[in-house]
Chain A
Amino acid sequence: MSEPATPLLEIKDLHTRFHTLDGTVNAVDGVDFDVYQGETLGLVGESGCGKSVTALSILQLLRCPPAEIQGRILFEGNNLLDLDREGIRKIRGNEISMIFQEPMTSLNPVLRIGEQIAEAAKIHKRMTRQEAWRWAVEMLRMVQIPGPGSRSKQYPHKFSGGMRQRAMIAMALSCNPRLILADEPSTALDVTIQAQIMSLMQKLKEEFNSAIVLITHDLGIIAEMVSRVVVMYAGKVVEEAPVKELFKDPRHPYTQGLLGSIPVIGRKEQTGRRLQEIPGIVPSPMETPLGCRFHPRCHKVMNRCQEQEPPMIHLAEHRRVSCLLEA
């Protein structure tokens, strides 16, 4: 792999806490990972393990209730957490942008599609109205919306879910950001559209030479799209591996459980394998278990898992696991 030495984004010991009326929620509790230019990094984990909060922490978009973000988020060497409001606003959309899950509600119903895409270009690239509009049409063409000229003049209600997600992608890419945070960009879409959206993102990523952090539950998408995977559980990173190794040799029992829960159609007879599920649910961030957070659900649980927090064990470059079995 020919990755440049310094990462585009380095997250170091990120903690995000919400101070709610019921107590403090440690939604992200000491996460670190790197993203290199031009790569696609997968971020997986069950619902509620803090993936979205991690992504939103990068852009500091957590406000309600005000989140306390600690740690360092280095983007091209600068700590984003040191920036003021104006500073982070110049990064948003321009250097780092985000696509989220819900295409149906992510577009403003009273603004034309073209206007919404042109908005960021006007702000960050100082384009005039006409230039920005032309650019928006160009972006719509790039995300393969047929008839972009007339479509750009329409309002979101005329767009189907897949087309809206394309429009969202056009919007997110409109300033050619270096990093795109894609939070389950295709979960709300049907399967064929999902595949189209994913291959479109892959294509555009190469065209623009951006990096993507792809957050998803779908391990099929992970297998196809990403080069490296970070597995999160209850606000912590439990394993990181290049995608092939992860599928071949998952080390953490949680990762093994996740991989065991993918259905493989038509192969049951051949493998004799039954669909596995991980028993139990992700613990609430307010009452994380002592010791290893996964131990109440782990099928390989040992006595010391209940007392000792597992250390992060670095097996190779970009290959680490946090489990006492490895220690």
Chain B
Amino acid sequence: MTQQHPRLREFKFTLYRIFRNPSAIIGFSLLFIFAGVALFAPQIAPPKYPHNPYLMPHKGFSPTPKPPSQTNIFGTTSGQYDIFYGVVWGTRTAFKIGMFVVGIAAFVGVTLGAVSGYLGGIVDEALMRITDVIWAIPTLVLAMAIIVAFGRGLDKVMIALALVGWRWYVRVIRSEILTLRDQDFVQAAKIMGVSDLKIILRHILPNAIYPVLIMASMDMGSMVITASFLSFVGLGAPKGYADWGQMVALARNYIVGPPGDPLKFWYAIVIPGGCIVLFVLAWNLIGDALRDAFDPKLRRR
């Protein structure tokens, strides 16, 4: 008799639930497209400067955006940067930001939350007070402080976001673990002499990881939007870097066209801006779908 892992079984059921939900289908389709673009960026838009593919190629320096044409299918933005190239490589940038920030934040948060919740007592008290202090730091102010201290750059933005991003995860995983810690099967594992590390890794975390997945998915969107905002106000990616926020920033003087034709430069704003919106939307739809699918109150049983 072959056995399916209950997580696998649950996973299949979850997939079924997820894909009954039309917004999830939209979310995953969008994500699929973005992932494809990011993956095949070198084929879709071959870099002009192979040593630095994130630098958008430009012909000329004219500040006026040019509409879509044969050579620039999405047109060019201020400074004659190719919008098509920018959004393609900007997809990679978005994934880089999201995965780096969320990866670090989730890892740090889950580790600290697990230790805190499992050990309890003074360790818990200390870690939670530190977390409270971190909660008091406004993300944007921290990001600006770091940039003022170390200079402009996307990497600084990512570090700033990762430095505070974990605080969500600590609280969520800690509360999950507080309920799991006193479960009989954890007590049973302790009775058998299983070490604390193994108990956390083998017995507790696999039972506590779903909320983290949901949060991580939501966070991918919000981290990218924050980074875009910082690029937009000129603290993130430098000029010419393939980053959606930075591209919107380039076009900020052309949001409204000349009198009589206010939508003249729509492509310079709508294309990169639309990418941000769709990217965030994709992750939020996925997060929502995961939440619905994992919500024990909505599940059978």
A-side interface residues toward B, CB under 8 Å?
Answer: 59, 61, 63-64, 66, 89-94, 97-98, 100, 102, 105-112, 116, 119-120, 123-124, 150, 153-155, 157, 168, 171-172, 174-175
Contacts and interface: CB of A to CB of B under 8 A. Distances in A.
Given A100-B184, A111-B203, A155 B5 contact: yes
Nearest to B4: A155
Counting chain A CB atoms within 10 Å of each CB, the highest count among B182, B185, B191 belongs to: B191
B195 interface: yes
Contacts of A171: 188, 192
A66 to B, nearest CB: 7
A260 B190 CA distance: 38
Given A64-B182, A105-B183, A105-B185, A110 B191 contact: no
Contacts of B187: 61, 100, 106
Counting chain B CB atoms within 10 Å of each CB, the highest count among A66, A94, A109, A172 belongs to: A109
A157 B3 contact: no
Contacts of A157: 6
Given A109-B207, A110-B207, A93 B184 contact: no
Contacts, number: 83
B296 interface: no
B194 interface: yes
B121 interface: yes
B202 interface: yes
B175 to A, nearest CB: 15
Contacts of B184: 100, 102, 105-106
A124 B187 CA distance: 17
Interface of B: 1, 3, 5-7, 120-121, 181-185, 187-195, 198, 202-203, 206-207
A168 B188 CA distance: 9
Given A153-B3, A155-B3, A92 B193 contact: yes
Counting chain A CB atoms within 10 Å of each CB, the highest count among B3, B6, B181, B198 belongs to: B6
Nearest to B183: A105
Given A61-B187, A106-B184, A110-B206, A155 B6 contact: yes
B194 A123 contact: yes
A94 B193 contact: yes
23 contacts: A63-B120, A64-B181, A66-B121, A90-B193, A100-B187, A100-B188, A102-B184, A105-B183, A105-B184, A106-B188, A108-B185, A109-B6, A110-B5, A110-B206, A111-B203, A116-B189, A119-B192, A120-B193, A123-B192, A123-B193, A154-B3, A168-B188, A172-B192
Counting chain B CB atoms within 10 Å of each CB, the highest count among A108, A110, A123, A124 belongs to: A108
B193 A91 contact: yes
B244 to A, nearest CB: 40
A90 to B, nearest CB: 7
Contacts of A92: 190-193
Given A93-B191, A94-B193, A107 B3 contact: no
B192 A93 contact: yes
Nearest to B195: A89
Given A110-B6, A155-B5, A89 B193 contact: yes
Tell me if B's interface is mostly helix, strand, loop or mixed: helix
Nearest to B119: A63
B185 A97 contact: no
B288 to A, nearest CB: 25
Contacts of B120: 63-64
Counting chain B CB atoms within 10 Å of each CB, the highest count among A66, A116, A124 belongs to: A116
A226 to B, nearest CB: 22
Contacts of B190: 61, 92
Contacts of A63: 120
A108 B7 CA distance: 12
Given A92-B191, A92-B193, A97-B192, A110 B121 contact: no
Nearest to A85: B196
B191 A61 contact: yes
Q: Which 9 A/B pairs are nearest by Cβ-Cβ distance?
A: A93-B192, A93-B193, A92-B193, A120-B192, A105-B184, A108-B185, A106-B184, A98-B191, A106-B188
Counting chain B CB atoms within 10 Å of each CB, the highest count among A90, A91, A92, A153 belongs to: A92
B1 A150 contact: yes
A159 B23 CA distance: 38
A99 to B, nearest CB: 9
A112 B202 CA distance: 12
Contacts of A124: 193
Nearest to A109: B6
Contacts of B7: 110
A276 to B, nearest CB: 34
A174 B184 CA distance: 18
B197 to A, nearest CB: 11
A90 B189 CA distance: 13
Given A154-B3, A155-B3, A155-B6, A107 B192 contact: no
Given A112-B3, A120-B194, A150-B1, 11 more contacts: A64-B182, A89-B193, A92-B190, A92-B193, A105-B184, A106-B185, A108-B203, A119-B189, A119-B194, A157-B6, A171-B192
